[in-house]
Amino acid sequence: MLFIYIIRGGDFMENRQREQEIIDVPVITYVEDKVEKKPRKRRNLSLVVVILISALIGGVISSYVMPVYVFGKLIPYPQNYFGPDIKQVIHVNPKSTEFLVSAVAKKAMPSVVGITTTSIERDFFFGPRTAKGLGTGVIVDKRGYILTNAHVVHNGNVEELKVLFDNGKKKDAKILWSDAALDLAVIKVDGVKVVPADLGNSDDLQVGEIAIAIGNPLGMEFEKTVTSGIISGLNRSVEINENERIENLIQTDASINPGNSGGPLLNSKGEVIGINTAKIKSGEGLGFAIPINIAKPIVDQFIEKGEFRKVYMGIQGINVDIFERSTGIDLITDEGIYIARVYKGSPAAKGGLRTGDVIIGIEDKKINSMTQLVKELYKYRPGDTANIKIMRNDEEKTLKIKLERIPKNY
């Protein structure tokens, strides 16, 4: 066997002092069988050595020198240098969601409050009993206006209502307005310096956006819990019971549990985009919030005038699909509100609406249910005129209705 000392080409380029390695090179052995020995041809052996050295040096140059020092610096990489199926790799900006959630929570936390209630419930067997309730709210004005769910304040029927602030202070509050159909309420505290939240625009939401919820799930032991997820869906409808549905909801997979109700759903800017309202208990990752744009006209009136004046049309209506199922009568349209009654002297009566008309829209907005109609009317002030689209005797008409403040005895 012949031993040859060779300097590795790659290390030669990096460090000429590196230790030499020994490479075993086998040499062909000729067997003698009564054959006269012939002198070895040293020329052939030298040629083998040169070939081996050249191959090593060429390999080092092609695998190390060219990629590191030549390609991409002196000359561009050859076409398909990295293989024929290389695809473009898009690197995500390393702004981690966890830091975004932390920043949003820090901004919004001073505006989130806990709400505790004491109410009297009537029991058929045991008579009146005291019931305690817990929920969440969000401050919407520096004068102490707080937005929450109607069911958090028992639709206005409470004996005691208290608000717990971020600094640990607790104050009595009063209910200014509540609507079970929208599941929204406005309460107020006095004599406390508060930090109002920024309100966003729920009409601009896109499925897949970041969504962050803050609330008090399962009691004050877990107060100010922060959960995050995405906007999973828009314009969702949830059936609360046989006679009640909440429509046009935001769906999110941010965890929402009992006690979160009334708390804010926030976007990546820390703006309130919804008020958390319900959770389907039969499925995981299904939370819902009322779009903040539904509450904005109400909040604006309180901020502007210190009160909210609800307008009304003066009709008794029923959803077309329910009317058809109940009576077996097929109407000309499958969507809208069948007018079962028009109250005497009401805006509807003055504007020409009749029993049997079917309301199908307000302005350019389609109306399919009484809940939608109520929601749209919250956008108007007393004295405003609304263009009501109806179907009458197979003909579509538009009537102008001058809306009035809802009377106390209505």
CA distances from 208 to 204, 229, 255 (A): 12, 9, 16
The torsion of the CA quartet 147, 153, 154, 158, rounded to 10 degrees, works out to -150
What's the token pair of residue 112? 């989130």
Active-site residue 111, yes or no? Answer: no
Active-site residue 261, yes or no? Answer: yes
Strands (DSSP E) contained in 180-334 are: 184-188, 210-215, 225-241, 244-252, 264-266, 272-279, 287-291, 311-312, 315-319
Catalytic residue among 178, 261, 346, 369: 261
Active-site residue 151, yes or no? Answer: yes
Q: How far apart are CA 127 and CA 153, in angstroms?
A: 21
Q: How far apart are CA 27 and CA 3, in angstroms?
A: 10
- Spell out a b/e string for 344-366, using b for 16 or more CB atoms within 10 Å of the CB, else e: eebbbbebebeeebbbbbbeeee
Contacts of 73 (CB under 8 A, 6+ apart): none
Exposure on the CB side of residue 64, measured as CA atoms within 13 A: 13
Q: Are strands 358-362 and 385-392 parallel, antiparallel or unpaired?
A: antiparallel
Cα angle: 320, vertex 353, 387; to 5 degrees: 90
Q: Are 373 and 360 in contact (CB under 8 A)?
A: no
Catalytic residue among 111, 179, 183, 346: 183
Catalytic residue among 151, 178, 232, 255: 151
Q: How far apart are CA 207 and CA 273, in angstroms?
A: 13
Pick the closest to residue 246 from 185, 293, 290, 294 (CA basis): 290
Contacts of 41 (CB under 8 A, 6+ apart): none
Q: How far apart are CA 352 and CA 346, in angstroms?
A: 10
Residue positions annotated with a catalytic role: 151, 183, 261
